[in-house]
Amino acid sequence: PITASLPAHVLGQIDRHVQASWPPGPYALGSAAARCVAAIVRNGRRRLTAFAVLEGEYDARRVVAALPVTLGVAGIR
């Protein structure tokens, strides 16, 4: 785990930075939405990162993870 790799003060700095950055602003959300639409229109020529709830994948259940996905006209691959 990351807690074994980083000192407590560094973890605290990261935590404060993440909290100050959330929620993302409208430009960040708009940019992400535009990338998703472009990926669908181009039918999955580019991989994106998406958050997904794992239900058995990677031997994990009810865990949220950032995973590479390909968006296309047929959905998510």
* Domain coordinates in residue numbering, the chain: 2-76
The pLDDT value given to residue 23: 84
Average of per-residue pLDDT across 33-54: 90
Mean pLDDT of the chain: 90
Q: Cis link prior to 68 (omega < 30° from 0)?
A: no
**71 burial type by CB count under 10 A (0-12 exposed, 13-18 middle, 19+ buried):** buried
Does pTM top 0.85 for this prediction? no
pLDDT tens, position by position, 61-72: 889 999 999 989
pLDDT tens, position by position, 18-43: 899 888 889 999 999 999 999 999 99
CATH (residue range 2-76):
3.90.110.10
Residue that has been written with the tokens 């074994």 in this structure = 4
The pLDDT value given to residue 15: 93
